[in-house]
Structure 1
Amino acid sequence: MVEIIILAMIFLFVGLRLWSVLGRRTGHEQPIAKPVEVQAPSATISRPTADVPPSPALAEPAIEPRATDGVRAIAAADSSFDVARFLEGAQAAYRMVLEAYWRGDVDELGRLADDGVRQAFAQAIEERRVAGHVLDNRLVAIERAVIERAALSGQMASVTVRFDADIAAVTRDADGEAIAGSLTDAIETHDVWTFSRHVRSDDPNWILVETDEAA
């Protein structure tokens, strides 16, 4: 009987100690982590969710020094602007615009670019059609994408991105015969594209407003 009472007292003591450790919160416990939502890169350049890095050094090599002030001005006007997310979207847009141009999809270009750029692409597509040429091109890789310039004029933000890419290019005639280029040898290309967006717009997408070859 005495042994049973002693065991009961031991169990009670242990139970009280466990409750004192596990049953109360002190305010210093680590919070329970929430699941992190992983999002695929946007097909167009969508509004990011974090601030620009506080130091230009942290932005290397994503931002050229001359673009830092402009990037900060855009971030001040739109606190959701984020360099990494922007460049992800810019690279996706670069691929989509090139592929739409190569296959002659003017409607898709109209969704991604402003009227001036779309008309320039449309004219080149029409000239290609009249000549009976078909482009069989492949974007092999985007080796580098860096913000070269950025500015905020009123509520309009503009960001210029340099793309260094490898493209395999073949031009075929109406019969499908290759008349120029090769799919086995990629060509280094260097483009400078400018994207624009009204920072107060409900539309998060940036629009391509200018294209050029890098100097």
Structure 2
Amino acid sequence: MDIYTLFFLAIAVVIFFRLRSVLGKRTGEERPPFDPYTAREEAETGGDKVVTLPTARARQAADPDDQIGGVVKPGSAVEGALKTLLSADPSFHAREFVDGARLAYEMIVTAFASGDKATLQPLLDEEVYQGFVQAIDERNAAGETVDFTFIGLDKSDIMEAELANQIAQITMRFKSQLISVTKDSDGRVIDGDPTEVTEMTDIWTFARDVSSGDPNWKLVATEAT
């Protein structure tokens, strides 16, 4: 080997070890890939915004109470419906569903206020999405804007659940606090008060085909009370 070969070999070795120190190496003990739908930070990065309400991984728990208990009243009709759903979809976990639904709720109301159709589309059933789009387009055509601040959720609970023809539906009640002010094209307030926190109660229904490999739930119905 001549001096030039040794010189370039030495450079290659140095580069290899520097890359190794920066990128690390696989040991077989790495955590599995992070699920971007179970954390707010990933949901806000602008990537795929579909929210997986319960996690998609298969579960080993043999006791249904482990996956449903503590979320609904024991012995209630809702608990029975959730157990039926669990028998068709062993990956379902009630607490994780509620946590995911809370995240989806905030994402949807915030995206609607800002007119962010890209965020809304993967979270909504097509019919619901078109209704939201129509409202956004009418607001834009009128030159109206919305100043929106989501304060937080006071309460969220499962009201109803059912499984019919492999379609699971879960109805949630959300009680939230927010500040929402609509302004006209001249910046004048035409609805809402920037100093007033509004309490909202919304009843939303999410659905999923449990026979599908897609673990994502979508909003299929909304109602404000």
Same fold (TM over 0.5): yes
Which residue identity is paired with 1:53? D
Which of 124, 131, 138 is residue 120 of structure 1 equivalent to? 131
Once residues 120 and 185 of structure 1 are traced to their aligned partners in structure 2, the CA distance between those partners, rounded to angstroms, is: 27
- Check 1:55–1:180 CA distance in 2 against 1; reply closer, same or farther (3 A cut): closer
Q: Is the Cα contact below 8 Å between 1:135 and 1:172 reproduced in 2?
A: yes
Report the alpha carbon displacement of residue 137 of structure 1 after superposing the two structures with TM.
1.4
Please list the CA deviations of residues 51-71 of structure 1 after superposition, one character each: whole Å capped at 9, or x if unmatched: 65369773347x993322211
Q: Which residue of 2 aligns with 1:59?
A: 71
CA distance in 2, matches of 1:183, 1:148: 32
Which whole-Å deviations, capped at 9, do the CAs of 1:99-157 have from their partners, x for residues lacking one? 11111122322111011101111111122112221111111111111010100012111
Residue aligning to 2:26: none
CA-based RMSD of the aligned residues comes to 2.7
Cα deviation per residue 1:154-177 (whole Å; 9 max; x = unaligned)?
211111100011111111122333
Conserved in 1, the CA contact under 8 Å of 2:104 and 2:123?
yes
**8 A Cα contact 1:196 1:207, kept in partner:** yes
Structure 1 equivalent of residue 52 of structure 2: 45
- Give the structure with higher Rg (CA): 1
* Counterparts in 2 of 1:136 and 1:66: CA distance versus 1, 3 Å: farther
Give me the whole-angstrom Cα distance separating, in 1, the residues matched to 2:88 and 2:169. 12
SS of 2:96's equivalent in the other structure is helix
Describe the shift of the 1:210–1:64 C-alpha distance in structure 2 as closer, same or farther (beyond 3 A). Answer: farther
- Find the residue that maps to 1:185 and give its secondary structure: coil
The answer for unaligned runs of 5 or more in structure 1 is 1-33
Q: Higher RCO, 1 or 2 (CA under 8 Å, sep at least 6)?
A: 1
Q: Percent identity?
A: 33
| Contact 2:68–2:82 (Cα < 8 Å) also in 1 | no
Distance 1:196 1:128 in 2: 28
Distance 1:60 1:148 in 2: 9
- Count residues with an aligned counterpart: 180
